[in-house]
A and B are shown apart, each in its own frame.
Chain A
Amino acid sequence: MQYHRPTSFNEAAALANQATGETRFLAGGTDVLVQLRADIVTPDTLIDIKSIPGVGDISQAPDGSWTIGIAVPGAEMREHVQLGQDWPGLVEAMDLIGSTQVQGRATLVGNLCNGSPAADSVPAMVAAGVELSVTGPTGNRRIAAVDVPVAPGRTSLAKGEVVSAVHVPARGTNAGDAYLRFIPRTEMDIAVVGCAVNLSLDTEGTVTAARVALGAVAPTVLLVEDAANALIGSSLDDKALDRLASAASAACNPISDKRGTVEFRTHVAGVLAKRTAKIAYARAQGENT
């Protein structure tokens, strides 16, 4: 195994581009190292991207948008008061990952690029409209988080491409997001269903914009337009919530496995969508939930 510690994204991309066999970037390592030890994937090339300047920073632009470094662990996001006020759903989704120890390491990009359909922060990123800067052998591009996963364990990133930053839009007024997952226990479990909702309201409390994303109910994260449309124009009355639940359930394309049946996941997706929407709505109205 080759281990590299580049000091720029261009160098990282070049190393990855030249590598043969299995290549992994080492961010927090909470997937990569676990898979290595469990004899699931032993990379031929391991590129540690934590020594690149700026990868541990969280910063806000004058327009209110945020840039989160690719090595920022969940614990730092959680301790960032301003980020948490703007994007409580994104922060709570990241915060659900693992234990205190895992929180000290795990990153948003690692969660996304590991490619698990059940990754907790991914629906929240998608609902928030997060975009990523990607550095490749031939230059940089920007890509929406929703377009990264293409299948379980696979991403749309090309050989030699490395994510170099996470961009979270400006929060705007009267807006809020939330994330809930269903697990049979209370901690240290993997989402059987995950749901993120991001809402903007007008001053009357009518939903003007909505994004609803579901995790663990299809091979990749789902951005469910019908579910968003069920909410837009409503003030989250029961009818709108029922339409939301139906749309969320209808979008599901899950598998039956040790973690849950098709029937169960489909039903719970609707239940969670309602519950998540209510929290996001309350937050958009300025309630501290």
Chain B
Amino acid sequence: MALDDQKPSGFKFVGTSPDRPDGLDKVTGRARFGADAYAPGMLHGAVVRSPHAHARIIRIDTSKAEALEGVKAVVTRADFVDGLQGEFGFVLENVMAGEKALYDGHAVAAVAASSQLIARDAVKLVEVEYEVLPHVTDVDAAMAENAPVLNDSYADASVPAGHHPNVVRYHDSGHGDIDAGFAEADLVIEDSFKTEATHQGYIEPHACLASLGGDGKGELWCTTQGHWIAQKTCAALVGIDTSQLRVTASEIGGGFGGKTTVFIEPVALALSRKANRPVKIVMTRSEVFRATGPTSSTSMDIKIGMKKDGTITAAQGIFRLQGGAFPGAPMEFSAMCAFAPYALANVHQVGYDVISNRPKQAAYRAPGAPMASFAVESVIDELCSQLDLDPIDVRLKNASREGTKASYGPKFERIGLVETLEAAKAHPHYSAPLEPGQGRGISCGFWFNHGGETSVSLALSEDGTCQISVGTPDIGGSRASMALMAAEELGIPYENIRVTIADTATLGYNDVSHGSRVTYASGLATIKAAKDAVGKLCKRAAAKWGIPEDAVYWEDGCAKPSGANAGNFDPMPLAKITKSMGRTGGPISGHFEATPEGAGVSFGTHIVDAEVDPETGKTAVVRYTVIQDAGKAIHPSYVEGQFQGGAAQGIGWALNEEYIYGEDGRLQNSIFLDYRVPVASDLPMIDTVIVEVPNPGHPYGVRGVGETGIVPPLAAIANAVSAAAGVRLRHLPMSPPRILRALKDKG
């Protein structure tokens, strides 16, 4: 799309921050989340899970469970489709184990019973005989020569010879001459980093209500970021036609990438088919931790060369990501995002996707990027401090700009990194004095953003109001943004528009709410659908006035004749046209569908002050500022919410959140007491600055904002903590015991 297609500034609705349309329902409890669905005759499902990290399943005896009063169905792998290949095969293997249990918590069977308590008891009556196998949960250990083999057929052709079969994918990219670049440097720093796996930590556990008849027709209600992918996947796993399964997305209590796949949904469908009754499954928190997708843990080596003036001469990174028992760890995103903020003549990045006895990783906000950014930006920080250079000046000197050849290949279009750095430098936070014991850190971060398959329909009502059906579950206030964009185009008040997340039977395929794509892609489609309706409105007015269609234009919610030649007619408001639409040609709707390709990339810069208690190693984040390019903030307050949310989750990841496995390969901390997300009192007020460098690929200039905000925090906090503690922290999370150890080792 050309920039000249963009709406000029002077928006009426866009850029305001009205209350979200789903707000009242959410604060009064009327909103219906995944677990809030009920059906007549409904059964309750529960899942039998492996207590072992790695075990061959010798035998499953379901007879005692089936004999329990109230139990209506028991399913195992035999109740699903056989022989699925590729990602569907991995998903099936993950939602119901076949020959082997591959991690603590892996589903091996499921029951449906007339009450939750009976289902819980029935789970204990399913007898599973295991042959326990050696396991591995650490990424470096899983790549080592003698590591236990999970599956020797998962590696694809990208993996060079000589690697352990647990290395299943390989990535190698870059440009220039690395050795020549390092030779030019005045200082080269090479260092290794590790990060532990973290969970998205959404408050709402996975929940669904499924009904599947013997005729192969089904209904599914579930909490998801994408009901079309759920439809397609579930249909494949239980062996029915995609269109015969209607999926409705509930209100969603957080997803952050973790609800872009299915876990219990196919299981509930299989149970329902067997019991011939609707089946509801709600995960416990412990199941969420043990058996849904956390992010990858990593091990990384970074080498960067710099001249005395701050010019980066060469950069190299090796990113090893453990993604659980199946291929898919987003190591190529780590590799591609790591150096993206910098214009580098010589850059080389390598990625390894490694399987281990942990749950299958799932996307988590900018998958793969935050860890890579932590490692790279830590080394840049160290270079700046050893060369006595200002960290913002150095980043400005090397910053990617329009026309820069990105570290991952293409040339950047118009981007806003420099603007975020300049805003950071000018921000009062950057020059504020620090108290003793405090340190300041900064970091940049990058995320691609995404377009994806998108379809939106819009219909006008006879009273002049508007209803919009979008296919992307609202995970961040997007219904408000859609309504604002439609209000802008139609020229009617925000309150006169109702946006609904349509079910799979109502629209064509919509890609998941991920990749920060919703305000960009569904927004673009909403604008285009509104334009489609506006065209029809103008046509009706033209017919009424008896003038040519192209002699009518749309402004401020009215059709108007385009000039004196067109005739002298009073502006015709939308409501007047819709009032008579039944008689003037029928309902007026608008529709748009596409796979838009112009999602503009986004950069951010974060400033953090941290205070470390040298006696206990405990860190407090005392001040935090997020500066990020939003392209155009449709609803500024929700844009700020995304910035703050990314920072808050980043603080958890940096300081205390981690998957802790015991010697036995079992997850030790599968409840929120011991999986330590930050609580409200752990967080400072997170200040935000919205930079707006319009994206040429969107009519209003929107760039996705949902993910970039979690890329810089790990590094920015690590840089602040390292400055405060006087020692470089290379292992996340920087929990008090790790910091105290580092302080002791420093002496």
Contact = CB atoms under 8 A, between A and B. Distances in A.
B656 A184 contact: yes
Contact of B616 (A182, A185, A190): A182
Nearest to B672: A188
A187 B656 CA distance: 13
Contacts of A160: none
B668 A261 contact: no
B673 A257 contact: no
B393 to A, nearest CB: 35
Contact of A185 (B615, B617, B669, B678): B678
Most chain A beta-carbon neighbours within 10 Å: one of B676, B680, B737: B737
B615 A264 contact: no
B735 interface: yes
Nearest to B675: A258
B51 interface: no
Interface in B656-695: 656, 660, 668-669, 673-674, 676, 678-682
A239 interface: no
B618 A188 contact: no
A interface majority secondary structure: loop
Contacts of A259: 674
A258 B676 CA distance: 11
Q: How large is the interface on A (under 10, 10 to 19, 20 to 34, 35 or more residues)?
A: 20 to 34
B740 interface: yes
Contact of A258 (B286, B655, B668): B668
A169 interface: no
Contact of B679 (A185, A190, A260, A264): A185
Interface in A250-286: 257-261, 263-264, 267-268, 271
B15 interface: no
Contacts of A188: 673, 679
Interface residues of B, number: 25
Contact of B618 (A38, A182, A190, A267): A182
A186 B680 CA distance: 9
A189 interface: yes
B676 A189 contact: yes
A184 B736 contact: yes
Contacts of B682: 185-187
B673 A184 contact: no
Interface in A170-195: 182, 184-190, 192
Contacts of B615: 268, 271
B405 interface: no
B531 interface: no
A187 B683 CA distance: 11
A5 to B, nearest CB: 23
Interface in B108-153: 120
Given A258-B660, A258-B668, A267 B740 contact: yes
A271 B676 CA distance: 23
Contact of B674 (A182, A258, A264): A258
A268 B618 CA distance: 11
Contacts of A287: none
A257 B668 contact: yes
Contacts of A189: 673, 676
A39 interface: yes
Contacts of A267: 740
Interface string B290-323: 0000000000000000000000000000000000
A268 B655 CA distance: 18
Contacts of B736: 182, 184, 192, 260, 264, 268
Contacts of B678: 185
Contacts of B655: 184
Interface string A47-65: 0000000000000000000
A169 B740 CA distance: 39
Contacts of B680: 187
B709 to A, nearest CB: 21
Interface in B617-663: 617-618, 655-656, 660
Contacts of B660: 258
Contacts of A271: 615-616
Given A186-B682, A258-B660, A258-B668, A264 B618 contact: no
Contacts of A260: 736-737
Contact of B673 (A190, A263, A264): A190
A185 B656 contact: yes
A188 B668 CA distance: 18
B649 to A, nearest CB: 15
B679 A187 contact: yes
A37 to B, nearest CB: 9
Interface string B85-109: 0000000000000000000000000
Nearest to A257: B668
B722 to A, nearest CB: 18
B205 to A, nearest CB: 13
A39 B120 contact: yes
Most chain B beta-carbon neighbours within 10 Å: one of A184, A186, A259, A260: A184
Nearest to B285: A38
Contacts of A258: 660, 668-669, 674
Contacts of A261: 737
A46 B678 CA distance: 35
Most chain B beta-carbon neighbours within 10 Å: one of A188, A190, A257, A258: A258
Given A189-B676, A258-B674, A264 B737 contact: yes
Interface of A: 38-39, 182, 184-190, 192, 257-261, 263-264, 267-268, 271
Given A182-B616, A263-B737, A271-B615, 20 more contacts: A38-B284, A39-B120, A184-B656, A184-B736, A185-B678, A185-B682, A186-B679, A187-B679, A187-B680, A187-B682, A258-B660, A258-B668, A259-B674, A260-B736, A260-B737, A261-B737, A263-B741, A264-B737, A268-B616, A268-B740
